[in-house]
């Protein structure tokens, strides 16, 4: 499946990281509410804008460069709050970063407060 990423100059259909870079889908917490009319509302709040005590971000590895040995697609990780640079897609927010920006692997899932 191709993801369409937007940048300042247009669209990019697919990005393959090179060398020791990875693409990570940022963790987004979903909140569900019933409004006053009884309709279900779902809010998606990305880690990057949530007020949090955590000084790091979380996400899932989507794609890895050829030099990355310890990470594979599907691995849940934590990384510095300002690591890498942002990519936006209809499916969510992504980041491209070096593998040495990863602070740890989340074995049991995401950390919620």
Task: Show the tokens assigned to 93.
Answer: 């927010």
Give the C-alpha separation, 51 to 22, whole Å: 26
Predicted local distance difference test score (pLDDT) of residue 76: 95
Is the residue at 35 inside a domain? yes
CA distance 2 to 23: 14
Structural domain boundaries, residue 53: 5-105
- Domain containing 56 — which CATH number? 2.30.33.40
Choice among 14-18, 86-90, 93-97, 106-110 with the minimum mean pLDDT? 86-90
Assigned domain for 110 exists? no
Does 11 fall in a domain?
A: yes
Q: Is residue 84 part of a domain?
A: yes
Give the tens place of pLDDT for each residue, 61-102.
Answer: 999 999 999 999 999 999 988 899 888 887 888 999 999 999
**Separation between Cα atoms, residue 28 and residue 57, nearest integer Å:** 10
Q: Would 48 be classed as within a structural domain?
A: yes
For residue 62, which of 54, 71, 70, 49 has the smallest C-alpha distance?
Answer: 71
In a domain, 101, yes or no: yes
Instruction: Look up residue 103 and give its two tokens.
Output: 């602070």
Q: What is the chain's Cα-based Rg?
A: 15
Total domains, the chain:
1
With contact defined as beta carbons under 8 Å apart, do 58 and 47 qualify?
Answer: yes
Residue 64 lies in a domain: yes
């Amino acid at each position: 499946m191709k993801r369409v990423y937007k940048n300042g100059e247009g669209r990019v259909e697919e990005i393959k990281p090179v060398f020791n870079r990875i693409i990570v889908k940022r963790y987004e917490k979903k909140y569900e509410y019933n409004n006053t009319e009884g309709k279900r509302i779902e809010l998606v709040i990305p880690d990057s804008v949530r007020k949090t005590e955590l000084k790091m971000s979380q996400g899932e590895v989507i794609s890895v460069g050829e030099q990355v040995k310890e990470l594979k697609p599907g691995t849940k990780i934590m990384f510095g709050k300002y690591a890498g640079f942002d990519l936006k897609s209809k499916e969510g927010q992504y980041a491209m970063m070096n593998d040495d920006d990863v602070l740890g692997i989340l074995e049991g899932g995401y950390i919620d407060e």
